[in-house]
């Protein structure tokens, strides 16, 4: 009996020592992880940490503590994606990217499928983007025309004039249609680039301007380049300011260059 008690006492003592050691290691690990998440937020200028999200929001099945190398690799894919997002936002290169290209890139970020965030990869990526910035800008104009001013019967673009009408600005419940306001934000983005002006933040876009206004139906919203009148049936009547007309001519010339066969059809009409 005494022998059993001695063995039990010895086992408990070693277990308590091991527990204290584990607690110390876990505490150090948590402090290091906290420091890593704070550093990530500080560098990427984000209010949330992709690392913390990865570890706490249901992604646990992607890693195992018994395979630390695989775990680190999995975590860094998400951290790298956040860093790519930050450097793309801070560089201003998004201003030249078409809406589709931005959506494709955002999807890569969301799925953590971006390349490793390493100097050689960064240089190569930005060299390619910078070299293709004019083509990307034109792609953005074509993408915008395809959604805003396109004759689908002839599959030809239609010249944007001083006044256009956009449909589905409000849905059947009277709520603002984000897809339509995103399209109009793209128009503001392209006109801002051609105007040599900073691009307005998306958070201050037309969705917020219309949604947060005193009334959505019969709302009047002004941007630097056009005025929108919102009607009950969900349409938006857009009148471009004088300063925007020369900028629209640049857009129309891009379309005429890409679609020379459409010149005969380049007459303004409702979008």
For 210-259, what is each residue's pLDDT tens digit?
A: 887 655 566 788 889 999 999 888 888 999 999 999 999 988 888 888 88
Q: Which of 8-22, 43-57, 149-163 has the lowest mean pLDDT?
A: 8-22
Domain check: are 254 and 155 in the same one?
A: yes
Which sign, positive or negative, has the C-alpha torsion 122, 124, 128, 133? positive
Question: What would the pLDDT profile of 158-178 be if each residue is shown by its tens digit?
Answer: 778 888 888 888 888 888 888
What pLDDT shows up at residue 179? 82
Q: Would the pLDDT of 1 be above 50? A: no
What pLDDT shows up at residue 215? 55
271 in a structural domain: no
Classify residue 147 by burial, with Cβ atoms within 10 Å: 0-12, 13-18, 19+: middle
Is 177:168 a contact under the CB 8 Å cutoff?
yes
Domain check: are 94 and 178 in the same one?
A: no
Q: Would the pLDDT of 270 be above 50? A: no
Domain check: are 141 and 104 in the same one?
A: no
Which one of 9-23, 56-70, 125-139, 152-166 scores highest in mean pLDDT? 125-139
Q: Which residue has the higher pLDDT, 172 or 261?
A: 172
Instruction: Using pLDDT thresholds of 50, 70 and 90, give the confidence band for residue 63.
Output: low
Classify residue 76 by burial, with Cβ atoms within 10 Å: 0-12, 13-18, 19+: middle
What pLDDT shows up at residue 202? 58
Which residues span the domain enclosing 82? 2-131
What pLDDT shows up at residue 6? 45
What pLDDT shows up at residue 262? 63
Query: Which domain-ending residue is among 96, 131, 166?
Result: 131
DSSP per-residue codes, 165-177: EES-SB-TTS-B-
78 in a structural domain: yes
Query: Which domain-ending residue is among 131, 153, 184?
Result: 131
Domain check: are 145 and 122 in the same one?
A: no
What pLDDT shows up at residue 239? 93
Domain check: are 83 and 11 in the same one?
A: yes
What pLDDT shows up at residue 271? 40
Q: Which of 52-56, 88-92, 178-182 has the lowest mean pLDDT?
A: 52-56
What pLDDT shows up at residue 195? 92
Classify residue 78 by burial, with Cβ atoms within 10 Å: 0-12, 13-18, 19+: buried
Of all residues in the chain, what percent carry a pLDDT higher than 70? Answer: 79
Distance CA 31, CA 16 (A): 22
What is the residue-averaged pLDDT of the chain? Answer: 79
């Amino acid at each position: 009996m005494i022998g059993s008690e001695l063995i039990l006492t010895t086992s408990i003592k070693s277990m308590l020592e091991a527990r204290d050691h584990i607690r110390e290691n876990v505490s150090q690990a948590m402090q290091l992880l906290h420091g890593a998440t704070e550093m990530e937020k500080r560098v990427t200028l984000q209010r949330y940490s992709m690392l913390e999200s990865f570890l706490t929001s249901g992604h646990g099945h992607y890693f195992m503590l018994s395979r630390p190398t695989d775990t680190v690799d999995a975590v860094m894919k998400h951290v790298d994606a956040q860093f790519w997002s930050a450097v793309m936002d801070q560089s201003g290169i998004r201003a030249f990217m078409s809406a589709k290209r931005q959506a494709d890139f955002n999807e890569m970020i969301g799925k953590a499928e971006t390349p490793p965030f390493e100097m050689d990869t960064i240089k190569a990526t930005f060299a390619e983007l910078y070299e293709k910035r004019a083509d990307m800008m034109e792609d953005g104009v074509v993408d915008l025309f395809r959604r805003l001013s396109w004759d689908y019967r002839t599959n030809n673009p239609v010249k944007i004039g001083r006044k256009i009408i956009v449909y589905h600005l409000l849905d059947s419940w009277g709520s603002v249609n984000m897809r339509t306001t995103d399209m109009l934000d793209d128009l503001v983005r392209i006109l801002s680039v051609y105007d040599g002006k900073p691009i307005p933040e998306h958070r201050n876009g037309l969705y917020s301007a219309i949604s947060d206004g005193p009334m959505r139906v019969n709302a009047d919203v002004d941007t630097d380049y056009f005025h929108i009148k919102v009607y009950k049936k969900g349409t938006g009547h857009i009148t471009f300011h004088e300063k925007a007309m020369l900028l629209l001519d640049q857009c129309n010339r891009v379309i005429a260059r890409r679609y020379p066969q459409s010149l005969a059809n380049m007459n303004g009409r409702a979008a």
